[in-house]
A and B are shown apart, each in its own frame.
Chain A
Amino acid sequence: MKQQPLVSIIDIKKYFPVGSGLFGKKNHFVKAVDGVSIDIYPGETVGLVGESGCGKSTTGRMVVGLTDPTGGEIYFEGKKLSEYRAKKSLGKNLQMIFQDPYSSLNPRMTVADIIAEPLVLHKVGNAKDRRKRVDELLERVGLDSYHGSRYPIEFSGGQRQRIGIARALALQPKLIVCDEPVSALDVSIQAQILNLLKEIQKDMGLSYLFIAHGIQAVKHISDKIAVMYLGKIIEFADKEELFANPRHPYTKALLSAVPLPNPKMRDRERIILQGDLPSPANPPAGCSFHTRCPVAMEQCRSIDPNLLSTSEQSLTACLLFEDRVAN
């Protein structure tokens, strides 16, 4: 029963140096990601939600090897990512879809060339095979083969995102990191892209790490959801569990803050957090959420909670759920 995870992220950290001390010594860091661990199994989708600056995109970039972690390790099918000497070889299995379909496609290449580029780089097939593959991919993402000879500027946002998906699929990867793939799109187009991603997953059995701040989209597509706050995962749970029983006060506030498209729910009780997200360059001591937490206790100022199992399907990092707290 116990399956081997496709990707194992173990306690990864990414610290960016800011400013420099005497003799150019780096002495101050932004802890963009500070100890994140996630297992992603074949065929499943893990959603990563959080507000801007919480480190979700940096996590995604580390998973595909676009940036190296400062600490911790990522395993792909049991092998350390850092042992893949040639970064290029990762591309066969790990791909990424970006948020902005306007800046992630080369405006001077035709759509067919964009989609074929990964095939060319990895020397897959000859020109004729590649052309055939491009046509298949275009069809797979809901475009026509004649679109291949056009340039990105001739397409709308949703269509460009389809092109980005076709490019990511070209090498038949096992995991695609989707970094805010629908945030820049109109509502009716978002639904089209979400459906397409789900269909592709069904057909090809690949896994997604789906990063977004739009909680509805994450909920729709994910099997498990990790909630990040200031570089850390504060709750990780099966989707149903997370929405039925959110445990961390931040998760509760986040869910309660989402405007619901139902005017009858207008007068519901909402948890409105006070203040802003603290700067990751200067995170608060103890639990990083204590400055905004509606139920913060004295201990939260000094003790940093661990991500502990709070039910069979969930992990929560909050002192309310730790034995360390005398109650």
Chain B
Amino acid sequence: MSSKESPLLEVKNLETFISTPKGEIKPVNNVSFSINKGEIVALVGESGSGKSVSSLSIMGLNASAIQYKPESSIYFKDKDLLRLEEKEMRKIRGNEIAMIFQDPMFSLNPVHTIGKQIAESIVLHKKVKYKEALETALDLLNKVGIPDAKRRLNDYPHQLSGGMRQRVMIAMALACDPQLLIADEPTTALDVTIQAQILNLLRKLQKETGISILLITHDLGVVAEMADRVLVMYCGKIVEEGTVADIFENPLHPYTKGLMSSVPELYGPSKEKLDTIPGIVPNPLELPTGCNFVTRCSYATKKCSQTAPTLLQHPSGNRVSCWNPFGKEGGSAHYETAATSINYRH
């Protein structure tokens, strides 16, 4: 990816808030990242980390209770999606940016045939005749590997298996040749062997079309298999960002490292005891002062509970938001001296 080329999507200082009687919650708290053309970026985090709100912000599909701070912007090519009229957003949504969801049963309309549902979005965005759109739909179903596609056009969603439905969703998402696909836990609801099929399909389609993908998942296996770059979120903030190789081989944030080592190994001898991250994700209304991870971090120092770290470029390549990130040597090297010589990237 050449650095000169401007990114396809640039999220800057995205900050959302919900006012509740008990106070303000920030599902996404000052998040900045970009996605280049043809890149697969994985957004990893546990429930409540803000990954879905971030992606729905891009689509303009957040619930109305979620409001944006004025500094937030999401540039898709040259347009700020957060400041578009709904009418213009509609031209982009489903056309230039498409999305697939975790549960394909709830994202398909149960009373229309799948052929009609795919053709509809083509008619809407491409201004072609319904009959032509149906032809395109057939091509798409073939492309996503649905056997006997012609007959399947007239099927209703309940007649398809989970894997088939997800293929239909992908066909529908690709109907208008989008430049960005947001895939929100696309294989979480599927069985392992079907998951392998869908991941394979996404990889193949990405290669063929050069589409960019924002992949939202909690499964580190899926991340390692698919992503070029990884963003790790915790409590509404990005805590670490890096290439997939750096993140897995040389995680700098104690949370990233904790996530990695809490996955049981598939091969080799089993550990007697898994490494865990102690405690639970804090209540968003009672976030600790300083670093959000301080209550669960085994390397926390006094500074961590006083001042929140910011996401900075670390000499080893990743961006990390931590006062005591792991160094290459594996231990938690003190980082303050290095931090003075590095600069903010944005």
Contacts and interface: CB of A to CB of B under 8 A. Distances in A.
Interface string B151-195: 000000000011110000000000000000000000000011111
Contacts of B147: 275
B274 A191 contact: yes
B200 interface: yes
A258 B266 contact: yes
A264 B128 CA distance: 45
A191 B275 contact: yes
Given A216-B265, A266-B225, A259 B248 contact: no
Contact of B280 (A156, A194, A255, A274): A156
Contacts of B269: 240
Given A188-B259, A188-B276, A219-B266, A263 B248 contact: yes
Contacts of B245: 263-264
Contacts of A263: 224-225, 244-245, 248
Interface in B267-310: 267, 269-278, 280-281
Interface string A247-263: 00000011111111111
Q: How large is the interface on A (under 10, 10 to 19, 20 to 34, 35 or more residues)?
A: 35 or more
Given A216-B266, A243-B266, A261-B220, A187 B193 contact: no
Contact of B218 (A186, A220, A274): A186
A199 B68 CA distance: 46
Interface in B241-264: 244-245, 248, 258-260, 262-264
B271 to A, nearest CB: 8
Contact of A260 (B218, B221, B259, B275): B221
Contact of A189 (B197, B199, B280): B280
A213 B191 contact: yes
B222 interface: yes
Interface in B193-207: 193-197, 199-200
A33 B269 CA distance: 32
Most chain B beta-carbon contacts within 10 A, residue among A192, A194, A260, A261: A261
A202 B200 CA distance: 41
B80 interface: no
B47 interface: yes
Nearest to A217: B264
B219 interface: yes
A191 B192 contact: no
A277 B276 contact: no
A158 interface: yes
B285 to A, nearest CB: 13
B199 to A, nearest CB: 7
A194 B278 CA distance: 13
Interface of A: 51-52, 156-159, 186-192, 194-195, 198, 213, 215-217, 219-220, 239-240, 243, 253-266, 270, 272-277
Given A188-B258, A253-B193, A261-B263, 16 more contacts: A51-B192, A51-B194, A52-B191, A187-B46, A192-B276, A213-B192, A216-B265, A243-B266, A257-B193, A259-B219, A263-B224, A266-B224, A272-B196, A273-B197, A276-B163, A277-B161
